[in-house]
Amino acid sequence: MARYTGPKFRLDRREGVNLFLKGERSLGPKHPLERKGAVPPGQHGQKNTHKKVSDYGQQLREKQKVKRMYGILEKQFKNYFTLAAKKKGSTGETLLQLLESRLDNVVYRLGLAASRNQARQFVTHGHVLVEGEKLDIPSYRVKVGEVVSIKGKMTHLLPPLDKNAKISEWLEKKALAGKLSRMPQREELDPTINEQLIVEYYSR
C-alpha cells in the first residue's frame, strides 16, 4: 500500500499544528513550528498565510490534518467516515472513536511506542499480541476488554517507560500490556480536532 515517506515535519508545517509524527523529536525545541511558526512549506508558504481560506478549504485542511495524524490514506479514511455515518449518534465523535480504537493507535496511546508510525511498524512486524495472539493488522479495531501487549523480546525497542506518564482514562495499562476498558468520550479526545468540518466535507 502506498504511504507517505517524506519529511514528517513538513506535514506539521502544512497543517499548522504539531501532529506528533516523530515521537520525542516532535516535542523538542528544534521542531519547525517552534523555529519558523505555522508557515506552510515551499517558497510561497509565507505568502499563503495572508490568504483568506474558504469554507471548503477549512474543511479540506481539517480532513487532511486528521488523516495525516493517524497515518491513514484517503480511501481508508473515507471508509471510516461511511461506517461512522451508518451508526447511531454523532457521526464526528463516532469517527474519532473508530480511529482511536485502531490497533496501532492503542499501542501508541498505551505508551508502548513513541509514535503512531513506530506503533504501526511494531504491529506489521508481528511484535504485538492481542489476547495473546500475534496480530499484524494496524487497522484492526480493538474491542472493549481486549488485552494488547508487546512480545517480551522486543522490550529493548520500546521508549523509556515513564511511571508517571498519564494514560487515557479509557485505557488500562499494566507493565507492557493494556486494554481498551471502554470507548472514549469526545471530551477525552484531541481538542484541536474539529470533526464537524470533516462531516461537512464529506456531506457536500
Average of per-residue pLDDT values in the chain: 82
Considering only CA atoms, which of 129, 136, 178 is closest in space to residue 152? 129
Q: Does domain 8-89+194-202 have CATH number 1.10.1050.10?
A: yes
Residue in the structure block whose three cell numbers are 470533526: 195
pTM of the model: 0.78
Query: Strand, coil or helix: what is 53?
Result: coil
Confidence of residue 1 (pLDDT cuts 50, 70, 90): very low
Give pLDDT, residue 114: 85
State residue 172's pLDDT score: 94
pLDDT surpasses 70 at 181: yes
> What's the CATH number for 102-182?
3.10.290.10
For the stretch 75-134, pLDDT in tens is 999 999 999 999 999 999 999 999 999 999 999 999 888 889 889 999 999 999 999 999
Residue 113: its pLDDT value, please? 87
Q: Where are the domains of the chain?
A: 8-89+194-202, 102-182
Q: Do domains 8-89+194-202 and 102-182 have the same CATH topology?
A: no
